[in-house]
Structure 1
Amino acid sequence: MDYIIMFMHEYGYWAMFIAMVLENANIPIPSEVVLGFAGYLIAQGVFDMTTTMIVGVLAGIVGSVLSYWLGEYGGRPVLLKYGKYIFFNEKKFAMAESLFGKYGGAAVFIGRLLPGVRTFISFPAGVARYPMPHFLLWTTLGTIPWTLLLVWLGVKLGEHWKDLIAYNHELLIAMIVVFALIGVYWLIRHKRRKQRQEER
């Protein structure tokens, strides 16, 4: 963690961009550290909120596309063979693979909001050769709220931004609850719309 902080101290936005690209390309770099520290730098007047968000989102998209291409051209055997060099977590990858198999493109959006799974969800999309335009859309929609949340928490926590790492599991639960509420809202709205159409 300290080397990431030193890297960002030295090279600023470029370091943040590189770290987030690697994180989204399945390299085990905690986004809580990168984005949380970026939020702290905003609170200190070193980083700018708008620039930080743009860099964070673009890096997330670029890293996800790299992971997608790895899945498209290398497939699962490549990840299983070389995954040990990037501390590959097969359990989390299996979760991402199962999620994509069940929900298709929407899983890209869902997965981008779940800590741990979010870095692996692009790979099975590439293996399945899910259409790139749709992949980019869902990836962007999922990357924005995650980036905004961690940066915002880093700003609010200030010198205590490292609490984001300590409460990683609580953050996961919170994201699941938020996603569940959004899902319930969407289902209720869809059901009401269907009822209105039937009444006509």
Structure 2
Amino acid sequence: MESVLHLVEGVMSSPWLYLLLFSVVAADSVLPVFPGETVVITAGAYAVVQDAPSAWILLPVTILAAVAGDLTAHHLGRGAGPLSRRIRRSRTGDRLFTWAENGLHTRGGAIIVTARFIPGGRTATSLTSGMIRYPRPRFLGFALLAATAWALYNIGIGMAGGYLFREQPLLGVVIGVGLALVISTVIEKVRIARERRGRSPSEASPEPELLRSR
């Protein structure tokens, strides 16, 4: 355990951390198998525990990485005809993209902001926005708003964990990641319940179980 702690401390104090974080967060927007939230929460915790990373640098890097990843997924979506057909062959993929497409048509920017907090949802929404030719400038504006809220949320959870568990920062990270997952799950369940109550029985359709991807 001590060796793991030293390894994490070394990575967190490395000047290459910001490049690593940027790469993981940006990739997470395109392929949700990357642990974007975990890396950001860990960096937030160590911003309190030790002198590096700097929270003042961490925040803009995280925001830019999230926006870059969302824009990449959006542009991929504009030429993703074969990719879309392949993803939609699976039941989960089809439900994700149907949910994102309906949300973009009915709620527009609100779904872009909401989806950033749902693992798998942000990828489906960004790709779908490209497929339906959602205006780039409008997408960029909402993606920036979503990335800012998401960065503040995850860095804040990490810093709170680091503050409460200064002597055991990894415990703070584990609790922070768990808390983020619980909050995301609660938000998604509330959203699903509200949408189902707002529909007539004939309009109701199964919601994608987005949080099973992690």
Q: Would you say same fold, with TM above 0.5? A: yes
Which of 87, 109, 122 lines up with 2:126 in the alignment?
122
Runs of 4+ in 1 over 4 A off after TM superposition: 5-10, 173-179
Partner of 1:71: 77
Q: 5 Å matches for 1:1-200? A: 8-9=11-12, 11-43=16-48, 44-75=50-81, 77-81=82-86, 90=93, 91-158=95-162, 159=169, 160-173=172-185, 175=187
Cα distance between partner residues in 2 of 1:101 and 1:134: 13
Q: Which amino acid aligns with 1:61?
A: V
Change (3 A) 1:177 1:49: farther
Displacement of 1:41 in angstroms is 2.2
- Cα deviations across residues 118-164 of structure 1 (Å, max 9, x unaligned)? 23211111001111110000000111011111111101102111223
Cα distance between partner residues in 2 of 1:66 and 1:6: 31
Q: Which amino acid aligns with 2:122?
A: R
Cα distance between partner residues in 1 of 2:10 and 2:84: 27
**How many residues in Structure 1 have an aligned counterpart in Structure 2?**
172
Cα distance between partner residues in 1 of 2:176 and 2:116: 17
Q: Is the 8 A contact 1:39 1:151 kept in 2?
A: yes
* SS of equivalent residue, structure 2 residue 42: helix
TM-score for the superposition, normalised by structure 2: 0.68
Change (3 A) 1:112 1:171: same
Deviates more, 1:53-62 or 1:31-40: 31-40
TM-score for the superposition, normalised by structure 1: 0.73
Cα distance between partner residues in 1 of 2:18 and 2:47: 12
Q: Which amino acid aligns with 1:30?
A: P
- Cα deviations across residues 84-105 of structure 1 (Å, max 9, x unaligned)? 9xxxx62544433332233223
Q: Is the 8 A contact 1:105 1:130 kept in 2?
A: no
- Cα deviations across residues 153-180 of structure 1 (Å, max 9, x unaligned)? 101102111223334442114546999x
Taking every aligned residue pair, what percent have the same amino acid on both sides?
24
* Structure 1 or 2: more helix by fraction: 1
Q: Which amino acid aligns with 1:172?
A: S
Change (3 A) 1:129 1:138: same
RMSD: 3.1
Cα distance between partner residues in 2 of 1:42 and 1:69: 33
- Cα deviations across residues 12-43 of structure 1 (Å, max 9, x unaligned)? 10000001110112341132211101102211
Change (3 A) 1:78 1:176: closer
